[in-house]
Structure 1
């Protein structure tokens, strides 16, 4: 590390707050954006702290070892990515904000070079250019990774919740579970039920599943066939199944399809089925 590099680091470190001030002052009103000039005092305070951390991390790339910078980069990315996921900030806005930071950061480097004049060597400038630009690029890449991981985790959790609400398997006793299907059932929803319910029954250790159709307003031939498939799948898993709340039109559709429900217990209502079972 050259003496000039140490001087540049000291200069940048002394102007960390100035870089942040200029970056914040350059903001414009952007509706719904965390980077908007009118986003509020709390948001500005958070951005100020995060931007200061950004500037310190970038400056540290000039002096610290590769391992130390990588650790700083990962810590920064995790923190900022978590913040942007919570605020639902799209990646392109973060890229744009970081690009503006880079521009201001380089203005300060240029100011330092002008101040030092002929003492600055061409090799110094080449080293700084490589180190600083690489640091900014790596910050953005690491941020994108963490942002994607967090978004994937959140979407997976949301999908699990949707599946559970779409087809809630309710454990009544140690061995009995109920699957109440309510509302319109199209082929997309019934396929989701077909994928989710067997796994959930095994997870909950259900031995007897009551599939209640009393809340189903309309059913077509495709849906009836999928419900029949569901009873066959749980049967292969060693789980008994009982259909309750079958309306006349559902029964008629099943007969027209040639679906054989004779091996499955059926009842007009869930209450009736449970009274007989218990």
Structure 2
């Protein structure tokens, strides 16, 4: 490593606090943004810490140790991307903030050049330019990939929760429950239901589950098949199923698939099913 390169590295490390303060001063008032000039002191401190991590990562690219830069880059991307996903910060806002970091960083590098101009060759400056610009380009890519990974995981978890909440098991008695299905039923929702409902019934000691389809607006053959599989799984677990609200189109779809619902008690309405069930219990 050339002596002048080491001097630049040490100079930039000594300027970390100043670089961060100059970058923070570039903020403007943006309602709802973590980068807003009016952000809380706690958020400003977090930005200060993460900015230091950013410039540390970029500066490490000047050392003749590619593995160190890769390690820093990966750690930086994980920390910053997760923080931005959790704060619901749009990726374009982050990229704009990184561009400001880049501008700030170059101001200090140029300051070093001006102070030591007589000792710095054009080749030195070009080498630094290529190294640092490449480092910034790489962290942009790593951030975008990591941000998308975390965002995808978050959206998947949210969708799973929505699907589970859309298939609630409501206890009517200590052992009887009803699962009213409302809205469109697609294959994804049906598969989530197949995975979660048996577990819910076991956890809550449900031995008789009423599955009400009267509120379902659209159902296809795949969904009908999943519902049939659900009744089979519950039967194996000792839970009796009663299906209510089956409309003609659902019955036709089931018939076309060869699904035999004749072994399952069905009613045209939930009220009709309850009338029979609770009459039996009363007797």
Instruction: Name the TM-score class by shorter chain.
Output: 0.7 to 0.9
Asked if 1:138 is matched to 2:132, the reply is no
In structure 2, which of residues 181, 194, 209 is the aligned counterpart of residue 198 of structure 1?
A: 194
Match of 2:91 in 1: 91
Tell me how far apart the structure 1 counterparts of residues 118 and 6 of structure 2 sit (CA, whole Å).
16
Match of 2:241 in 1: 242
Tell me how far apart the structure 2 counterparts of residues 193 and 270 of structure 1 sit (CA, whole Å).
26
Match of 1:181 in 2: 180
Cα distance change of structure 1 residues 209 and 11 upon mapping to structure 2, 3 Å threshold: same
Moved more, 200-209 or 48-57: 200-209
Q: Matched residue of 2:241: which SS?
A: strand
Q: Matched residue of 2:62: which SS?
A: coil
Tell me how far apart the structure 2 counterparts of residues 39 and 170 of structure 1 sit (CA, whole Å).
44
CA-atom RMSD, angstroms?
3.5
Q: TM-score, normalised by structure 2?
A: 0.78
| CA displacement at 1:197 relative to structure 2 | 2.6
Cα deviations by residue, 1:93-119 (Å, 9 ceiling, x for unpaired): 110001011011111111111111121
Match of 2:128 in 1: 128
Check conservation: 1:242, 1:265, Cα contact below 8 A: yes
Tell me how far apart the structure 1 counterparts of residues 46 and 88 of structure 2 sit (CA, whole Å).
15
Q: Matched residue of 1:189: which SS?
A: coil
Q: Matched residue of 2:179: which SS?
A: strand
Cα distance change of structure 1 residues 37 and 31 upon mapping to structure 2, 3 Å threshold: same
Cα distance change of structure 1 residues 56 and 211 upon mapping to structure 2, 3 Å threshold: same
Cα distance change of structure 1 residues 150 and 274 upon mapping to structure 2, 3 Å threshold: farther
Cα distance change of structure 1 residues 203 and 66 upon mapping to structure 2, 3 Å threshold: farther
**Count of matched residue positions in the alignment of Structure 1 and Structure 2:** 264
Check conservation: 2:169, 2:177, Cα contact below 8 A: yes
Q: Matched residue of 2:116: which SS?
A: helix
Match of 2:32 in 1: 32
Structure 2: segments with no counterpart, 5+ residues: none
Check conservation: 2:85, 2:151, Cα contact below 8 A: yes
Check conservation: 2:201, 2:207, Cα contact below 8 A: no
Asked if 1:254 is matched to 2:221, the reply is no
Tell me how far apart the structure 2 counterparts of residues 25 and 256 of structure 1 sit (CA, whole Å).
63
Q: TM-score, normalised by structure 1?
A: 0.79
Tell me how far apart the structure 1 counterparts of residues 69 and 148 of structure 2 sit (CA, whole Å).
22
| CA displacement at 1:194 relative to structure 2 | 2.8
Structure 1: segments with no counterpart, 5+ residues: none
